[in-house]
Amino acid sequence: MDQTNLGANQTNQNQTNLGATPDPSQTSGTTGTIDEEGNFVGNWKEQYLDEDVRSEKFFDSDHAKNVKTLLKKAYSQERELGRLKSGKNLIQMPTEKSTPEEIEAYRISIGVPKEYQYKRPDDIDEDVVTADFMTDTMKRLNEVNLNQEQFDTVMDVFQNRIRAFEKEGINKLNKNTAEAIKRLNDEHGDELDVRLDLAKKFITIASDLWPAEKYQELFGKEDENGERAGGINDPEFAHLRPLLIDLFASYVEKHDLPTSAALADTTESKVQSIEEQLKTLEATPGFLDGKLRTSSNELDRQKHEEIMKKRNELIRRQTELQNNIRR
């Protein structure tokens, strides 16, 4: 029988090497340089690399740890070289398949910085453009690959919009103030000064013993010209002023509130009034000699505590007035 037919059913011992499974001892997995997962092991550099390139850092990188990654890197580099030779841009827009290195190369090529340079303009309130807001904004704009110039443009548009809103707000507040003044003049005319004096009289009486902080919280702080800004005097509440002035003035008219020396809006008279109140409190039987404080009667001790609180507040107010602290 002809033994040269490789496709025939042969039993000759010489045919056993034709298409048989290779001996595992002859595969790369056991050569001592490549394991079963394709990782380079052992003295692979000595076996596969010329001596003059073995010390290159590339062969210690992640790309050179595995046959698959090394081949993939070689293909990627060959593809990029092909693009360069063909005149195409070496840096391409990243895709879902882009490696981190390719993405970073693209970001660098279009000028995306690690961190943006930004300084808040003096006319933009820090409460509007907060540090936390800028941290989040810069992070998000960096993620969409804006370079410094593009970032500056975005912030300029944003800041100009803030300025426009603020200008609109100021114009609205000024309009509110103008309308409030017109309403007062229309409703009271020549009697406006009288109504204002009555309203101030009510405020003086009602807030006679208020601490300066509480008074300023409601009516604002007084400037060098005697005008108050803040609190109810803020332009935001201008539309309420005619109503409050009318309310206070009407209350004084209806109840015919007196303006005694003790209630006059002068520092001297207020100090005198406080001294009289202190004398009245301290004249309470058992207070100064400590009998209320040490009494076995719980009601006496409570009465002592109430007198002490009132007394401390009067002394604080007296000191404030004597130091001529302006409200």
DSSP line for 181-222: HHHHHHHHGGGHHHHHHHHHHHHHHHTTT--HHHHHHHH-EE
Q: Positive or negative CA dihedral for 304, 308, 314, 318?
A: positive
The answer on pLDDT for 327 being more than 70 is: no
314: containing domain: 265-327
Is the pLDDT score of 220 beyond 80? yes
User: Tell me, what's the pLDDT at 72?
Assistant: 82
Quote the DSSP letter at residue 83.
H
Residue 13 has pLDDT above 50, yes or no: no
pLDDT digits (tens, 9 = 90+) for 88-134: 555 677 888 888 888 888 888 888 998 999 999 998 888 889 999 99
The owner of tokens 């060959």 is 78
Q: Residue 110, SS3?
A: coil
Backbone angles phi, psi at 72, to 5 degrees: -65, -40
CB pairs under 8 A, 24+ apart, for 107-113? 107/145, 110/145, 110/147, 111/147, 111/148, 111/149, 112/142, 112/145, 112/146, 112/147, 113/142, 113/147, 113/148
* Average pLDDT over the chain, rounded to an integer: 78
Mean pLDDT, to the nearest integer, of 127-147? Answer: 92
- pLDDT tens digits, 192-210: 888 888 888 888 878 877 7
Whether the pLDDT of residue 282 is over 60: the answer is yes
Query: 161 pLDDT band (50/70/90 cuts)?
Result: very high
| Interval 57-72 mean pLDDT | 83
Calculate mean pLDDT across residues 205-216: 80
Q: For residue 241, give the 3-state DSSP assignment.
A: helix
Count structural domains, the chain. 2
Q: Which of 82, 109, 136 is the last residue of a domain?
A: 109
Question: In whole angstroms, what is the distance from residue 236 CA to residue 327 CA?
Answer: 21
* 288 within domain boundaries: yes
- 261 vs 291: CA distance, rounded Å: 34
* 210: in domain: no
- Exposure pattern of 98-110 as b/e (b: 16+ CB <10 Å)? eeeebeebbbeee
Would you say residue 305 lies in a domain?
A: yes
**In the block, which residue shows the tokens 């707000």?**
169
Q: Of 109, 135, 157, which residue is a domain's last?
A: 109
* Assigned domain for 56 exists: yes
Amino acid identity of residue 15, one-letter, is: Q
Please indicate, yes or no, if residue 81 is contained in any of the structural domains.
yes
- Residues 6 or more apart from 6 whose CB is under 8 A from it? 15, 18
Question: Is residue 320 within a helix (H) or strand (E), and if so which, with residue range?
Answer: helix 298-322
Q: Residue 27 above 60 pLDDT?
A: no
Q: What is the pLDDT of residue 20?
A: 45
What span, in angstroms and rounded, lies between the C-alpha atoms of 94 and 73? Answer: 17
Question: Tokens standing for 262?
Answer: 């003790």
pLDDT given for residue 76 in this prediction = 75
Is 131 part of any domain?
Answer: no
Using one digit for the tens of pLDDT, what is the confidence trace for 66-86?
A: 888 888 878 877 776 666 666
Looking at 88-147, list the stretches that DSSP marks H as alpha helix, in order from N- to C-terminal side. Answer: 100-109, 131-143
The 8-class DSSP code of residue 90 comes to S
How far from 126 is each of 121, 129, 290, CA to CA, in Å? 9, 5, 54
Q: What is the pLDDT of residue 26?
A: 46
Mean pLDDT comparison of 10-14, 70-74, 138-142, 317-321, highest-scoring range: 138-142
What's the pLDDT score for residue 130? 92
Share of residues in the chain with pLDDT > 70 (%): 79
**What is the rounded average pLDDT of the residues 281-301?**
88
Asked if residue 123 is part of any domain, the answer here is no
Residue percentage of the chain with pLDDT more than 90: 13
pTM of the model: 0.39
Please determine, for residue 302, whether its predicted confidence score (pLDDT) is greater than 60.
Answer: yes
Question: 22-26, 57-61, 130-134, 217-221: which has the highest mean pLDDT?
Answer: 130-134
Of the candidates 73, 91, 109, which is a domain's last residue? 109
* In-domain check, residue 129: no
pLDDT for the residue 83: 65
